Structure 1
Amino acid sequence: MAVTVTRMEPMEAVTPRPRAAWIGGRPEPGEETAPVRHAYDGTEVATVSLPSAAQVERAVAGAARFAGETRSVPAHARAAVLDRLARAVESRADEFAELLTAEAAAPLTLAATEVRLAVATLRHAARFAGETSSRAHLDGPDAPGHPDRPAVRVTRQVPRGVALGLVSPHRALASTSVAVGAALAVGTPVVVVPTPRAALSTLALAETLADVLATTALPAGVFSVLPARAPDLLVGDPRLCPITTPAGRSRVTVLPDWPDVSDAAAAVAASVVDWEGRSHLPVRDVVVHATSAERFVEALTAALSAHRVGDPYDAAVAVGALPDEDAARRTLAWVTEARSRGADVPLGGERTGTVVHPTLVTGLPVEALPERVALGPVVTVSVADTLDTALAAGLCPPGPAPRAVGVFTRDLDLAQHAAERTTAGQVVVGDVPRRRPGDVRDAARALRREVVTVLAVGGRP
């Protein structure tokens, strides 16, 4: 069924007019509203409707009802919807970037990059939807136990259930595009739950998707967006299959054979300040071999200093605000604690309101790197005297394993050794870990389960 949606004009999102929730593909006001305040100066930029418990239940129950209809839409048609959605978001790129800056105080330059990531994610999802999700092979006549009854075994990938998109409060558009892209790629409805603070870009994506669905075979009720103060309110609902955006820190090791430490330092600095240290996999710690340490620290200091801080709406600014002053205070408290353990802070260690300046912490031994890390643009550099020490500290740190590790080396044997040895879930060689559009494929695979059909052919009944 076609749904007519009144499109907001650019800048309309950053006004106090309440933004509706989306229930079964239709905008609906909620019983309550919540303000969205700009983290840089505290001004109210929007208000968001919070759906009632009855609206939430109606959205989930409706999604469950639409599951069969959604699954029956051919893969090529779902791929076409995702491709059209990607083009529609791309056509509104400036508006989405402004929404991200309004809700998360991300600098406009980073917000624009986030929009491009969302577009690329949706296109990857479209390609994944077009790939075959079934395979068949013949159990020959010599199959054990049934020599006279060969069979064809067909394995199909089917959705586990309705997708539940848990939106990252820091990078809402990217995580929403993963949830929507993965769900439509595998053929299941999706219920997206952002916090009010991170809801503007998600609601704009819902509006864009509604426009696209108005002329397609997919039902309008294939999606809902339910802003909620407690984003985990639907976790545990047996009708839903959660899609989360894995977060955590990453650690980087710089080995002596890497020819350009300035290149490595620039990549680390970009990760440290990306979304003020709130990116998908921010680099928190660097272990560098002693032969490269002095040059690397100099290069990293220069690279971090080059990132300007201030008003996120200033196109020259690269480091915006943390969510609130409490987050900024906690970040600097971590730096103070590191100083008390003997660390040096050659750069940063200060804030202007909610903006924490890029901070470099040095002097902590590799065996004493903190398990608890700062939320913000803060990075620790430690020096290892030997190659074995550098690899051990970088790949297998004590405490919780990092989500990913990066190794700057040209030695392929060492790279393979790193992949086999690390406790992290991902190893990146020659770069820092970062979010990539292809991550949507992992989310889509997690939404599927295998169903095997055995077709007996020939032989006696």
Structure 2
Amino acid sequence: MLQYQPYLDQLANNTTESQALVNPHTKEEIARMPICKEEQMENAIKQADGAFETIKNMPAHERSDILNRASEILHDNKQMVAETIAQEAAKPIKYALSEVDRTVQTLKFSSIEARKLEGESIPMDAAPNGAGRDAYTLFEPIGVIGAITPFNFPLNLVVHKVGPAIASGNTVIVKPAEKTPLSAILLREALVQAGLPEDAYHVVPGEGKVLGDVLLKSDAVQKITFTGSPPVGREIKSNAGLKKVTLELGNNSALYVDKSMNDRLDDIVSKAVHGSYAYNGQVCISTQRIYVHEDIADTFTDQFIKGAEQLTFGDPLDEETDICNLIDKPSQQRLLEWIEDAKQQGAKVLTGGEAKDDGIAPTVLTNVPEGAKIMKEEAFGPVVIINRVASGDEALKAMNNSQYGLSAGLFSNDMKQAIDMAHGLEVGQVLVNDVPTLRFDHMPYGGRKQSGYGYEGVKYAIHEMVNRKMISLNYTF
């Protein structure tokens, strides 16, 4: 049975400060959370650095087996872990259970990739004076990796940093979101029970700026991998020096629905509603801007509104709940202000647009101008824009008119249009005949523009956590 309390007690022995970790839905205290300071982070770095030689020299098959066993332990504790996510993140239990399933898969992908980190043979005789030599490359782990993670996927976005780190022979320190530290601790407990040395993975909860600065300044930390806001990402990149950096930042996902899909609107609307409102829209690749060809816009919009209004608002632990409270009150207030800003600029609220408990009723806006805050920024809430366009070319221009570039989707039966748009979209991932909210945990995942720097996805994350070394053997000497 996985437990987070023993690790909390261990942290409490090393710090005198604590605060209540509160359920965003019930406002009840879940746990008493120790607040770690610079000293605790420095100690964690020292211990992880000391454990690096052990992990580095551990055979790949052993690291692989640990990751696979951890996936099984997590699977066996699925309900409890999902309930923890639902309680600390106010995530509807149906989505929390799905997050645990994805985490199990991410651990399995990490287990597989631990055995597949392969270099290449270099034909040295391709150079005029290179004959008589065999050469090859190999990959070596870099050391301690600092991972800073957000609240919205408190387990799976942690494992996307931890799994590849361990698979490639590194140690890792997680600074979890202040609102959702328990899931990262449960992941650590699963890995330790699976055989990972305790000092190979630390969870250090506390204030992001304070603890993040320690990670940035430490010579022992060789890489920072961060998921969060663009302003913080820019600050990390500017202060990281020669450390490796991966940044997964904001987004404002766009979707185009072409008139050629008129006979599939029921299926598309169902996918779009789910992609827009899953976990209250608090997803980096949540579908936020939808552009629909004018020939089908009225039908699509009417069906979408009907789907949005059928969603159930309630307790995250209720299996029937689709929408619930946002992570905190300021998030609600921000969205209400952005909706009002759009209305003042001529946008029309088709449904929702109002507070519901500490959340927002599923909202659909239309006729939203390009200058509106909700059009330019990442909503990170259950607010969707549906604007009509006269063509795919108009949609492409509007979709690219964004400071972000993480993910986009389009539905079209016109193959040339689909290919042209896929090549023309200025994003890291294009999903044809799917919503942009779709992510599989082994695929490359990274953004352009203000959406980030570097790539995740297990194999791709691993390649950003290693150093390449070439070895040449002169057999004529």
Aligned-partner SS, 2:405: coil
Deviation at 1:234, TM superposition (A): 3.7
* 1:43-64 Cα deviation digits (max 9, x unpaired): 1121122234222112102212
Residue 22 of structure 1: CA displacement?
Answer: 6.8
Task: Tell me whether 1:302 sits opposite 2:320 in the alignment.
Answer: no
* Alignment CA distance shift 1:28-1:448 (3 Å): farther
Q: Once the 2 structures are TM-superposed, how far is the Cα of residue 292 of structure 1 from its aligned partner?
A: 1.6
Superposed structure 1 runs of 4+ greater than 6 Å apart: 366-369
CA distance in 1, matches of 2:100, 2:142: 29
Map 1:65-104 onto structure 2 (within 5 A): 65-104=50-89
Alignment equivalent of 2:418, drawn from 409, 415, 418: 415
Deviation per residue, 1:281-307 (Å, 9 max, x gap)? 111101111112111101211221221
- 1:308-365 CA-to-partner distances (Å, cap 9, x unmatched) read 1122122211112112222111111111111111111111111222121110001225
Match of 1:447 in 2: 465
Of 129, 137, 141, the match for 1:145? 129
Higher Rg: 1
State the AA in 2 paired with 1:201.
S
**Cα separation, partners in 2 of 1:223 and 1:28, compared to 1, 3 Å:** farther
Q: Which residue of 2 aligns with 1:250?
A: 253
Residues 269 and 235 of structure 1, relative CA distance in 2, 3 Å threshold: farther
Deviations 1:200-232 (A, max 9, x none): 11111112222112xxxx533211110112263
Alignment-derived partner of residue 157 in structure 1: 139
Q: Does the Cα contact within 8 Å between 1:325 and 1:353 map onto a contact in 2?
A: no
* Partners of 1:46 and 1:285 in 2: CA distance: 38
Partners of 2:10 and 2:390 lie apart in 1 by 57
The answer to whether the 8 A contact 1:408-1:429 is kept is: yes
Percent identity reads 24
Q: Distance in 1 between matches of 2:117 and 2:465?
A: 15
Aligned to 1:39: 24
Q: Identify which of 376, 381, 384 aligns with 1:371.
A: 376
- Asked if the contact 1:253/1:288 (under 8 Å) is kept, the reply is yes
* Aligned residue number for residue 110 of structure 2: 125
Partner AA of 2:151 in structure 1: P
The 8 Å contact of residues 364 and 382 in structure 1, kept in 2 or not, is answered as yes
What is the alpha-carbon distance in structure 2 between the residues aligned to residue 323 and residue 7 of structure 1? Answer: 25
Match of 1:112 among 97, 109, 114: 97
1:239 aligns with 2:257: no
Contact 1:78 1:184 in 2 (8 A): yes
RMSD: 2.2
Q: Tell me the amino acid that sits aligned with residue 179 of structure 1.
A: K
What secondary structure sits across from 1:41 in the alignment? coil
Superposed counterparts of 1:23-62, under 5 Å:
29-62=14-47
Is 1:269 the equivalent of 2:249?
no
1:174 maps to which of 147, 153, 156: 156
**What is residue 364 of structure 2 aligned with on the other side?**
360
CA distance in 2, matches of 1:326, 1:36: 17
Q: Counterpart of 2:192 in structure 1: which amino acid?
A: A
Q: Look up the equivalent residue of 2:406 and give its one-letter code.
A: R
| Cα distance in 2 between the residues matched to 1:436 and 1:28 | 40
Return the match for 1:227 from 205, 210, 214.
Answer: 205
Do 1:365 and 1:382's aligned partners in 2 also have CA atoms closer than 8 Å? no
Q: What is the aligned residue count?
A: 435
Contact kept, 8 Å, 2:392 with 2:417, in 1: the verdict is no
Q: Which runs of 5+ in 1 are unaligned?
A: 1-5
Deviation at 1:132, TM superposition (A): 3.5
Shift of 1:69: 2.0
The 5-angstrom pairing of residues 8-27 of structure 1 reads 8=3, 20=8
1:28 deviation in Å? 5.4
Contact 2:148 2:177 in 1 (8 A): no
The unaligned stretches of length 5 or more in structure 2 are: 228-247, 443-456
User: CA deviation digits over 1:101-150, x for unaligned, max 9?
Assistant: 1101111111111111111111111111111322223323x63234xx42
